[in-house]
């Protein structure tokens, strides 16, 4: 599962990527600093791990990770190959969800390809390019399938009528968020079908007055894109990462609520990907794992180790909420809150799982 960071050139995508992943990818005040993509992982900041640490006193705590991909900037005409056009679109096709960074900060030293702060226009440009790319995709698929449908192949006929529906939806302005894709058509191929959230990259001084400044934009994102707008000052976050740990903590305390904006961004992408977290306590290590919602116990075991999946016998499971409430595994056993589940059990968020397997 990967989240792609997208947007116009010079809006702060790579700076955000570096902050999220503690990376050192090149950042520049000119457009198209990023040409190839940057790939990295961010730690999912999970307060539950702190509590588990208190209870189990492990030697090692391993948090869950989220994969981020920083993609080259996009300009008007990308779907026709302008800028770094097609490469950009190919990378987007590979990711599972998107976060579009919007330039809401004015700064004369950083080239603005729009010549003004206009985040709504940025959204429209990206959506248009994604839509045009999808249209091209659907037209190609229709051409490919038409001959088969004409000679009466039933499956081809059904897929063709779905493709025509999709095309109509796109011509009406899309995006394809609410389309139910039939089995024969792979939703991932369509760019406007990908879940997306927006990040307003603000000047530091606007962090406090975010809603009064960008209320209109928030409304637009909610109503037109059925999405969410998150505030962040990427530059400030970058500065915070450069402080030593003690200073950082002090600074975060001074920032108050605003110090949690970055965590909110990470958690929002996590929800966008429809993930849940389970924990394992093995020996002296506590570890958090992320899996797609609805994953079965046997598949979750496979995430930990392929041997566990192949030799799966059963899983002993209790939930974090119960452990937090009662404070020890022993009490959970006494109260009958530790369950034995089979292969097909669907893991819930916060499950603490002990897999039993043979080798
Ligand atoms: N003032 C200000 N400058 C920022 C902010 N975020 C990023 N920048 C600056 O904007 C310039 C571009 O940042 P990048 O992170 O390289 O932007 P990008 O979107 O990855 O750019 P491309 O890869 O060229 O598309 C750099 O000079 C950053 O230091 C911000 O929040 N405020
Ligand atoms: Mg970049």
At 277-297, the pLDDT tens digits run 999 998 889 999 999 999 999
Q: Among all ligands shown, which has an atom nearest to the Cα of 113?
A: 1
CA atoms within 13 Å, Cβ hemisphere of 118: 10
Residue 267 lies in a domain: yes
Predicted confidence (pLDDT) at residue 302 exceeds the cutoff of 90: yes
Examine residue 307 and state whether it is found in any structural domain, yes or no. Answer: yes
Q: Are residues 203 and 185 in the same domain?
A: no
Domain final position from 190, 219, 234: 190
Whether the ω angle into residue 170 lies within 30 degrees of 0, i.e. cis, is no
- Specify the 3-state DSSP secondary structure of 312: strand
Asked whether residue 58 is assigned to any structural domain, the reply reads no
Distance 7 CA to ligand 2 centre (A): 9
Q: Is residue 224 part of a domain?
A: yes
Atom of ligand 1 nearest to the CA of 30: 24
Q: Is the CB of 10 under 6 A from ligand 1?
A: yes
Statement: residue 325 has pLDDT above 70: yes
Contacts of 71 (CB under 8 A, 6+ apart): 4, 5, 6, 13, 34, 37, 88, 91, 92
- Whether residue 160 is contained in a domain is answered as yes
Integer Cα distance of 302 and 310 in angstroms: 8
75-122 pLDDT, tens digit per residue, is 787 667 666 666 778 888 889 999 999 999 887 777 778 888 899 999
* CATH code, 79: 3.40.50.300
27 lines ligand 1 (CB under 6 A): yes
Banded model confidence at residue 268, pLDDT cuts 50, 70, 90: very high
* pLDDT given at position 184: 64
Residue 88: predicted pLDDT: 76
Whole-number average pLDDT of the chain: 89
- pLDDT over 70 (residue 216): yes
Same domain membership, residue 325 and residue 218: no
138 plus 153 within the same structural domain: yes
Residues 330 and 239 in one domain: no
Classify residue 284: in a domain, yes or no: yes
Name which residue leads in pLDDT, 202 or 159.
Answer: 202
For the Cβ of 32 lying below 6 angstroms from any atom of ligand 1, the answer is: yes
Is the confidence at residue 29, as pLDDT, over 70?
Answer: no
Q: Among 271, 295, 318, give the residue marking a domain's end.
A: 271
| CB contact set of 89 (below 8 Å; sequence gap of 6+) | 78, 79, 129, 130, 133, 191
355 vs 208, more confident:
355
The pLDDT tens digits for 4-26 are 999 999 999 999 999 999 877 76
Please tell me if the CB atom of residue 350 comes closer than 6 angstroms to any atom of ligand 1: no
Q: Which pLDDT band, with edges at 50, 70 and 90, does 30 fall under?
A: low
Say if 53 falls within a structural domain.
no
23 and 150 inside one domain:
no
Of the candidates 274, 308, 278, the one whose C-alpha atom is nearest the C-alpha of residue 292 is 274
pLDDT given at position 256: 86
Distance CA 58, CA 63 (A): 13
Q: Which domain holds residue 308?
A: 275-357
Q: Ligand 1: does its nearest atom lie under 6 Å from the Cβ of 137?
A: no
Same domain for 292 and 243: no
Q: Which CATH number is 146's domain given?
A: 1.10.150.300
Give DSSP secondary structure letters for 179-195: ----TTS-GGG-GGGS-
The number of folded domains in the chain is: 3
Q: Closest Cα to atom 2, ligand 1: which residue?
A: 235
Q: Is 105 in the pocket of ligand 1 (CB under 6 A)?
A: yes
pTM, to two decimals: 0.90
209 and 336 fall within a common domain: no
Q: Is pLDDT of 212 > 90?
A: no
> Phi/psi at 11 (nearest 5 deg)?
-105, -5
């Amino acid at each position: 599962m990967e989240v792609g960071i997208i947007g116009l050139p010079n809006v702060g995508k790579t700076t955000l990527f570096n902050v999220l992943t503690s990376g050192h990818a090149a950042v520049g005040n000119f457009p198209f600093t990023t040409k190839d993509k940057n790939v990295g992982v961010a730690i999912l900041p999970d307060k539950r791990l702190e509590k588990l640490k208190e209870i189990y006193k492990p030697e090692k705590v391993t948090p869950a990770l989220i994969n981020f991909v920083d993609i080259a900037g996009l300009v008007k005409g990308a779907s026709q190959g302008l800028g770094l056009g097609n490469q950009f679109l190919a990378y987007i096709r590979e990711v599972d969800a998107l976060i579009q960074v919007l330039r809401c900060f004015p700064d004369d030293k950083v080239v603005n390809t729009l010549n003004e702060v206009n985040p709504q226009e940025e959204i429209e440009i990206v959506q248009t390019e994604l839509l045009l790319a999808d249209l091209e995709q659907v037209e190609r698929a229709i051409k490919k399938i038409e001959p088969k449908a004409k000679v009466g192949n039933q499956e081809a006929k059904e897929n063709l009528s779905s493709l025509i529906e999709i095309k109509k939806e796109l011509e009406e302005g899309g995006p394809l968020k609410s389309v139910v894709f039939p089995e024969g058509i792979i939703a991932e191929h369509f760019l406007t079908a990908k879940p997306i959230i927006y990040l307003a990259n603000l000047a530091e001084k606007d962090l406090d007055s975010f809603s009064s400044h960008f209320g209109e934009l928030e409304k637009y994102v909610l109503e037109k894109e059925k999405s969410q707008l998150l505030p962040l000052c990427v530059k400030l976050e970058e500065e915070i990462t450069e402080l030593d740990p003690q200073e950082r903590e002090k600074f975060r305390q001074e920032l108050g609520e605003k110090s949690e904006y970055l965590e909110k961004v990470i958690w929002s992408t996590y929800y966008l990907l429809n993930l849940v977290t389970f924990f394992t306590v093995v020996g002296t290590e506590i570890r958090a794992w992320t899996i797609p919602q609805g994953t079965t116990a046997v598949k979750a075991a496979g995430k930990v180790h392929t041997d566990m999946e192949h030799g799966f016998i059963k899983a002993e499971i209790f939930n974090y909420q119960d452990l937090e409430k009662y404070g020890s595994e022993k009490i959970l056993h006494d109260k009958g809150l530790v369950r034995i589940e089979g292969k097909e059990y669907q893991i819930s968020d916060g499950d603490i799982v002990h897999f039993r397997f043979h080798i």
